């Protein structure tokens, strides 16, 4: 698991010029259209004010203003101005761009000055910058024969922000999301269902978590035909459903939060093989499972007072003589018969049995994560993720949680009349429709069949899981979307369940 060994030093006052001279890289954040008094309160304030006044009239969106200070060390400064009413997504994006301004230097210490805001806003800015710094500092896989040298960041000094319990959560959150990003970046030669399981087993030992694994033989005994249909095409019988459990010292009798994730380590599309352009990047089709895993580890690190479980559906979708095919009819472990329409809709198949088995444990809440449908990307793009729930009264809190956390979501309907498109003449349901203009909604309706009656359920279709230029505070293609969202949702008690 990637670790964040970056030390945080917090000071409520502003630095003096000696401190500025000692640290090579600085980020300065002040309110937009800063008054003269703001500049006077800053060391080297006159120089920063001059640079601000000479900025381009139409700068790149969110781009920081950079300059070098005339001191002995030639300290580099990246300056940003922010509205006091800035939304969290924009704030996190600005923080990522500030950090990127120092990327080539690879400083081992960074100074941050937050000046001119109230206490609450200063804390928001400080947390966003810390999140961006940790996201950029997390090591990602590099399998080149001569890996690029990285000089690790050791310390971040934040001036103008008071101590806050929120920073501890940020460390836990970024450890979880960095793990998700790390796993998604690994090629399928490095991350198979078998090697994935061994990595999780080591994490379970390190964090004293309980782990069970339902292998192919166990899933046959449980008659998990939907999952097994996808797994049967693999040359290696290493697929299965992994269950990881965190149990607190107190609160063990409370209903668990169950985090369910799609873990397709590579997706060829199966018999309905993908075109070449859509095959690239399919090692990232396991991001839902990585987000579930990273979220559980972050919650365990925070020592929440209720049990948390992660159910990871680990498999590959291969092409081969034993691969499942359109018009097959299979039976899931809850007895539902499924007519297969398209083998590239494998995610909902492995999740069907995983949700049904998870439901038998009667958790208090199920949240599932999956890079499930292209139609969700077509509907809302890659800056938001789609969200569904069987609790309509949660729609507004779920939207608001995305706005406040900076990992934005948009809800979609889950009405029963969509089932018309999934009616089969030979089975209880089709896996998907032959032509599906709203496949993300049909996929959610399909999955809802496998959630136990009365169990609150949230489904995240991770349309924003990968962005080549990064997203919000995260600079990498795979961004671990969902970890921050879920921590904010659970730890800020936005829902009653």
Query: What domains are defined for the chain?
Result: 7-164 (3.40.220.10), 171-491 (3.40.630.10)
Distance CA 430, CA 121 (A): 50
Measure Cα distances from 158 to 19, 81, 255, 413 in Å.
Answer: 12, 17, 39, 44
- Write out the catalytic residue numbers: 274, 348
- The residue written with tokens 């390190």 in the block is 206
Q: Report pLDDT digits (tens) over 365-408.
A: 999 999 999 999 999 999 999 999 999 999 999 999 999 999 99
pTM of the model: 0.96
Q: Look at residue 57 in the predicted model and tell me its pLDDT.
A: 64
Among candidates 84, 91, 164, which has minimal Cα distance to 132? 91
Measure Cα distances from 237 to 20, 214, 227, 228 in Å.
Answer: 58, 12, 13, 10
Measure Cα distances from 21 to 13, 369, 480 in Å.
Answer: 17, 46, 36
Where does residue 140 rank: exposed (0-12), middle (13-18), buried (19+ CB within 10 A)? middle
Q: Report pLDDT digits (tens) over 31-51.
A: 999 999 999 999 999 999 999
Distance CA 422, CA 428 (A): 9
- The residue written with tokens 């159910």 in the block is 311
Confidence of residue 162 (pLDDT cuts 50, 70, 90): confident
Distance CA 481, CA 464 (A): 7
Measure Cα distances from 451 to 340, 355, 418 in Å.
Answer: 20, 6, 17
Q: Look at residue 3 in the predicted model and tell me its pLDDT.
A: 52
Where does residue 281 rank: exposed (0-12), middle (13-18), buried (19+ CB within 10 A)? middle
Q: Report pLDDT digits (tens) over 465-491.
A: 999 999 999 999 999 999 999 999 999
């Amino acid at each position: 698991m990637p670790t964040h060994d970056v030390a945080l030093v917090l000071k409520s006052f502003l630095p003096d010029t000696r401190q500025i001279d000692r640290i090579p890289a600085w980020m300065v954040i002040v309110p937009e259209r800063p008054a003269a008094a703001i500049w006077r309160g800053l060391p080297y304030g006159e120089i920063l004010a001059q640079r601000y006044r000479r900025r381009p009239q139409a700068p790149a969106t969110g781009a920081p203003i950079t300059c070098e200070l005339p001191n002995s060390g030639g300290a580099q400064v990246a300056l940003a101005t922010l509205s006091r009413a800035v939304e969290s997504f924009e704030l996190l994006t600005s923080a990522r761009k500030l950090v990127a301004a120092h990327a080539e230097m690879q400083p081992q210490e960074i100074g941050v000055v937050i000046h001119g805001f109230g206490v609450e806003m200063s804390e928001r800015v400080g947390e966003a910058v810390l999140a961006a710094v940790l996201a950029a500092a997390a090591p990602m896989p590099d399998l080149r024969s001569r890996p690029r040298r990285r000089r690790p960041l050791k310390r971040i000094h934040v001036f103008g922000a008071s101590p806050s319990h929120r920073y501890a959560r940020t460390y836990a959150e970024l450890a979880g999301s960095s793990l998700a990003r790390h796993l998604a970046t690994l090629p399928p030669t490095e991350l198979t269902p078998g090697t994935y399981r061994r990595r999780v087993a080591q994490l379970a030992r390190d964090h004293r978590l309980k782990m069970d694994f339902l292998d192919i033989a166990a899933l046959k005994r449980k008659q998990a035909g939907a999952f097994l249909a996808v797994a049967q095409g693999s040359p290696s019988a290493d697929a299965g459903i992994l269950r990881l459990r965190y149990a607190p010292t107190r609160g063990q009798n409370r209903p668990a939060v169950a985090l369910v994730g799609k873990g397709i380590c590579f997706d060829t599309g199966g018999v309905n093989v993908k075109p070449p352009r859509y095959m690239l990047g399919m090692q990232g089709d396991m991001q839902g499972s990585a987000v579930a895993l990273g979220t559980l580890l972050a919650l365990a690190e925070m020592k929440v007072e209720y049990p948390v479980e992660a159910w990871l559906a680990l498999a590959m979708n291969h092409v081969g003589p034993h691969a499942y095919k359109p018009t097959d009819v299979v039976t899931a472990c809850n007895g539902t018969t499924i007519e297969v329409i398209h083998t590239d809709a494998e995610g909902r198949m492995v999740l069907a049995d995983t949700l049904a088995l998870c439901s038998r444990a009667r958790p208090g809440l199920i949240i599932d994560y999956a890079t499930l449908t292209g139609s969700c990307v077509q509907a809302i793009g890659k800056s938001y993720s789609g969200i569904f729930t069987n609790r309509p009264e949660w729609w507004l809190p779920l939207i608001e949680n995305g706005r406040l956390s900076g990992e934005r979501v948009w809800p979609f309907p889950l009405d029963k009349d969509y089932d018309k498109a999934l009616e089969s003449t030979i089975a209880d349901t089709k896996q998907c429709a032959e032509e599906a203009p709203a496949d993300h909604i049909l996929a959610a309706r399909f999955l809802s069949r496998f959630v136990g009656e009365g169990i609150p359920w949230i489904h995240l279709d991770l349309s924003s899981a990968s962005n080549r230029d990064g997203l919000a505070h995260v600079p990498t293609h795979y961004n671990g979307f969902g970890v921050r969202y879920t921590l904010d949702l659970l730890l800020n008690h936005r829902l009653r369940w």
